[in-house]
Structure 1
Amino acid sequence: MASLTARHPLAERATLGIEMPGATHLELIDGARIFTVMPFRGQGKALLQKLKRSKSLSLRTVGPDDWIVVAADKVPDIDPAQALVVDQSHGRCLFRLGGPRALALLMKGVGVYLDGAFPVGSSANMLFGHISINLARIDEESFELIVMRSYAESLLHDLKLAGREFGLSFAISER
């Protein structure tokens, strides 16, 4: 039986490209596992520490005691008495943007001054143009954007337009 998370919604329509050395590059991450995690009252601090220790998870803040977890391949190991965990993989998509001009490209679409105010490890919900995203800074030149599946094509279009002056390359890769 086919799974809704089997393919990125743009996998069949996107033009495949290659990453050029030193270029700003956008990847559509096919097969990303994305979960919403909301701890129950009094469980937040302990659960946060447990999630931060995990090497196979990437944690993004959405709000107080409300997180998005990107997992390598499986559901996070969370006690059902500690938190509500909802698989969002079928409804959200993951993009990775990297390269020397990634920050400049992002700042063309967000209403937040990211340089210096958005250190490595930060994440926040914000708009890119008119599209709501969760933005995470992975390292100095790399960012991950999570968007609702129905807005993936619009986000790709907007990122490609914003990236024209930077020679943006793009491709689909598997998680």
Structure 2
Amino acid sequence: MSDQNMNATLSYAQTINAMQQRPVTESGIVGASPLAHVDFAQLATAQSGQSSTVELTELALRTHIVLRGSLNNVAFVEGVKAVLGIELPGALKMHSAGAVSIRWISPDEWLVVAPGARSNEIEQGLIDAVDGHCAVVNVSGGQTILRLSGSDAHKVLQKSVPLDVHSRSFPIGKVVTSVFAKTQAVISRNAENQWELVIRRSFSDYVWLWLQDCCAEFDLVIKQDE
């Protein structure tokens, strides 16, 4: 294949990939959360003003990008920092800047979470910036995030995970991928009484039902994603 044909093929593939990640609005196709059937907005409105010890918010339709690479690969590390303005975190840590965060998953894997509208921008920026033996994969359609907050949020986690969630073992900024009930979640502590669960799309309804059962003894209130 000639260089001209190769470039044309690559350009076409990139265009198709962009359309798959963010369908054009003129098509009438809009993204939908895997928990769209729950209608968190309506629940939040109905429960507005209620006191609570556990609050649940879905952070829907965020950008989720998996990075694979080595911390010894200077081009990879510097490329990520140039695009996101954040250094890759070390083991069990999360780094954030505004609405963008990088969560450590394993020794050579990280999860970037950002506003949904920036999906293509960040993905293409990372692809262009990094080099060497590495990978950038957009998994936005396959995951969602549930945020637990409130004075009893840690008790919900104690029912759900085989982890010590006390602040001495699970401080703010820590990230762990663990069993959650009978599925898996990437669990981060974002504030003293605030946690985020990154869950797979196919298990989102199960986790939602599980959390309702776990919170039966607490005053669970649904909050609107801001």
The TM tier, using the shorter chain, reads: 0.7 to 0.9
Q: Is the 8 A contact 1:8 1:29 kept in 2?
A: no
Q: Which has the larger radius of gyration?
A: 2
Q: Is the 8 A contact 2:53 2:153 kept in 1?
A: no
Q: Which shows bigger deviation, 34-43 or 136-145? A: 34-43
After TM superposition, the structure 1 = structure 2 runs for residues 139-158 of structure 1, keeping only pairs within 5 Å, are: 139-158=191-210
More strand by share: 1
Q: Is the 8 A contact 1:11 1:30 kept in 2?
A: no
Shift of 1:23: 2.7
Q: Aligned to 1:35, which of 65, 70, 79?
A: 65
Shift of 1:160: 1.0
After TM superposition, the structure 1 = structure 2 runs for residues 15-94 of structure 1, keeping only pairs within 5 Å, are: 16-17=43-44, 18=47, 20-40=50-70, 42-43=73-74, 46=78, 47=80, 50-51=87-88, 52=95, 54-72=97-115, 73-75=117-119, 76=122, 77-78=125-126, 79-81=129-131, 83-94=134-145
More helix by share: 2
> 4+ runs of 1 displaced by more than 6 Å?
none
Q: Is the 8 A contact 2:101 2:112 kept in 1?
A: yes
Match of 2:156 in 1: 105
Q: For the residues of structure 1 that align with 2:225 and 2:97, how far apart are their CA atoms?
A: 23
Match of 1:13 in 2: 38
Q: Is the 8 A contact 2:68 2:110 kept in 1?
A: yes
Unpaired runs of 5+ residues, structure 1, are none
Match of 1:114 in 2: 165
Q: For the residues of structure 2 that align with 1:42 and 1:131, how far apart are their CA atoms?
A: 33
Q: For the residues of structure 1 that align with 2:130 and 2:211, how far apart are their CA atoms?
A: 38
**Do structure 1's residue 134 and structure 2's residue 159 form an aligned pair?**
no
| TM-score, structure 2 normalization | 0.68
Instruction: Give the RMSD, CA atoms, in angstroms.
Output: 2.3
Cα 1:53/1:26, change in 2 over 3 Å = closer
Q: For the residues of structure 2 that align with 1:30 and 1:21, how far apart are their CA atoms?
A: 24
Cα 1:128/1:25, change in 2 over 3 Å = same
Shift of 1:39: 2.3
Q: Is the 8 A contact 2:52 2:219 kept in 1?
A: no
Shift of 1:65: 2.5
1:35-55 CA-to-partner distances (Å, cap 9, x unmatched) read 111125624654475354743
- If asked which structure has higher relative contact order (CA below 8 Å, sep 6+), I would say 1
Q: For the residues of structure 2 that align with 1:127 and 1:42, how far apart are their CA atoms?
A: 31
Q: Is the 8 A contact 2:158 2:165 kept in 1?
A: yes
Cα 1:135/1:173, change in 2 over 3 Å = same
Q: Which shows bigger deviation, 69-78 or 42-51? A: 42-51
Shift of 1:12: 2.3
Q: Is the 8 A contact 2:144 2:201 kept in 1?
A: yes
Matched residues, percent identical?
A: 23
Unpaired runs of 5+ residues, structure 2, are 1-26, 89-94
